Structure 1
Amino acid sequence: MSAAQPWGFTDDRGTELGAARVPERVVAYVRAGAALLDLGVTPVAVYGSGHDGPAYDPAKAGGLDAAGVPYLGPGRALDEELLRELRPDVIVDVTYDGKSPYALDEAVADRLAVPLAALSVGNELTLPEILDRFRELAGSLGAGAGAGTAAADPTDLAGAEDFLRGVAGRTGLAVLALSGAGPDQVHLARPQAWPELARLAALGVRLLDPGPGPGANWLTADWGRAAELRPDLVLFDNRFHAVPPYETPPGTRLAAWNPETPPSPAAYARFFRELAEALAA
């Protein structure tokens, strides 16, 4: 696709975006930017969420830091003048509710007169559908087939899924996904609320549900509740703002989980293979 051609894309809020030419200067939320990099589109800069600090979170950066993509800090505290100086042609964010961008106030994009694309990462789409939407956006931005800094080949993801399916079927281990909030509190993930966890379940991973209580995505409890569920393996949130597990039954295996894994085949292939290896250990 030539940059001289008109560009159009409809995001997952139903917002129709357009430009006189294909955008070349992309600024993105770090999760979206890492996925685009895997898919062959290198952002000129990325920004974080309200959970992020002034530097890259290694769990969320993917290949961005190594590729030299500048990080601008949390989106809600973004320096608008600095963003203006970057001359973005398009801003790419994610949305969890299908209505609003997650990490950047849309008014910022409006004031800069820059189109903002928000792609869904919530549970109204399956993980394969989410990956397809990011591929569509990357393709519209000029990414060539098979381009990318990492193995974006969908057959690699299929191979990782087959590997995980086989291991999960042989071991039958019970898996609990959680995000540590401190020594006295933990957020226990509801598997069907997370597209990647729902995908794990579809691949045969035996995920534990934390049970009834408040919270659509998480049940917030103490660490004793996590131990009561008797997981064989704990998938723990490895983002910078989360804490490692404080209390698990003796012999429980641990594996890292980034609830904001970049939505690219390469990133999820890595995650699925790492989980399979942890289950098989």
Structure 2
Amino acid sequence: MNLRHIAAGAALALALPLAACGGSDDSGSGAWTYTDDVGTELSLDAAPERIVAHKDVAVALADMGLGDQVVATFGAPANSDPDLGLQSENLDLEEVEDVTGGGDYGDIDLERLAGLEPDLIITSTFGDDTLWYINDEVAGKLEGSYDIAVLNYEGETVESVLDNAERLATALGAEEADFEEGRTALADVNERLATVASEAGDPSILAVAPSADLLYVANTPAYIDLIHLRDEVGLDLMTPDESDLDEGGYWHNLSWENADFYDPDIAMWDSRGGEANRDMLEDQPVWNGVTAAEEDAYVPWRVETAPSALGYATTFGQFADDLEEIS
């Protein structure tokens, strides 16, 4: 698994317009057509009722009133520290069938999948024609046997993600009223975050992902949650120079000897490895010279977020709580 697989998940861009007028058959019967983000035209005899989805998408569907249609999920194992992982009050992932295979990254248990007889599989892409948590070998076996809707993360914003997620949910049978709670909660938490940051003196924030050999510093424009926090909320997100970025444009890769290249007021650490990631930062002597480390100003970067308004409201609300705690 490369770092792009490790790091991509910060956000979903669910741009799935319907092929004709933007909605499926109003009567709930008859053929269902859909054109996904990569241009695949899906055509089913009826609207999908049995969906297998990547965990993030499954939670988003449940947030928008479609949890009963999710028959299974797949994806990375649950976070070792559940409070830092994917959050949902509407879908208990432990109670839903998991068809993730036991092999390498992107493996799916095809026998268990077949037994569920799904109408539709939903995953996502971060570009380069790769499917999120479906490796090339598995993708080849799925092709021709299952309809797969691919959601694009690349080049989107939180707002466009939510608009398109709601179009997808509407096509699958959700009502506009199913989105209202999340939209209201997200608007409220945006205001709260701006207030918390202002009261804390508008600190500079650096999003990082530690590893054994390198410190990866996130490129803000590559992650829609960071873009939102910077552009819509007004937080001071530090951003690497373009000339310092890796080939994918996601990170500035620093050796631990150069871990003090940036001097943020607050370190926003990638929580997908659980508290062990924060521990890794705290064990590095050069890093411990930056302001955030000296002030013990750490907040989790909860990358695992459902692409629904309620999902982002939950994640950003937790971020506001974390900021308040260290301010």
* TM-score normalised according to structure 1 size: 0.86
2:85/2:271 contact within 8 Å kept: no
1:80 aligns with 2:110: yes
Note the C-alpha offset of 1:243.
2.2
Structure 1: runs of 5+ lacking an equivalent? none
Structure 1 residue aligned with 2:123: 93
Q: Which moves more between the two structures, 163-172 or 125-134?
A: 163-172
Q: Which moves more between the two structures, 151-160 or 67-76?
A: 67-76
CA distance in 2, matches of 1:223, 1:38: 40
CA distance in 1, matches of 2:186, 2:316: 8
CA distance in 1, matches of 2:94, 2:172: 19
Any runs of at least 4 consecutive aligned residues in structure 1 with deviations exceeding 6 A, and if so which? none
CA distance in 2, matches of 1:267, 1:236: 19
Correspondent of 2:51 among 10, 18, 26: 26
CA distance in 2, matches of 1:67, 1:265: 22
Structure with max Cα Rg: 2
Note the C-alpha offset of 1:44.
0.7
1:39/1:264 contact within 8 Å kept: yes
Structure 2 residue aligned with 1:47: 74
* TM-score normalised according to structure 2 size: 0.75
Identity of aligned residues (%): 29
Note the C-alpha offset of 1:224.
5.0
1:263 aligns with 2:294: no
1:218 aligns with 2:247: no
Correspondent of 2:187 among 158, 162, 169: 158
1:91/1:109 contact within 8 Å kept: no
Q: Which amino acid aligns with 1:56?
A: A
Note the C-alpha offset of 1:60.
4.5
For this pair of structures, how many residues does the alignment match?
A: 271
Q: Which moves more between the two structures, 59-68 or 4-13?
A: 59-68
**Cα distance 1:189–1:100, how it changes in 2: closer, same or farther (>3 A)?**
same
Note the C-alpha offset of 1:140.
1.0
Q: CA RMSD in A?
A: 2.4
1:193 aligns with 2:222: yes
Structure 2 residue aligned with 1:239: 272
Give CA-to-partner distance per residue, 1:170-223, whole Å, 9 cap, x none: 4210101111212x4221101111111011111211011234424111112134
Note the C-alpha offset of 1:3.
4.2
**Cα distance 1:72–1:240, how it changes in 2: closer, same or farther (>3 A)?**
farther
Q: Which amino acid aligns with 2:152?
A: S
1:3/1:23 contact within 8 Å kept: no
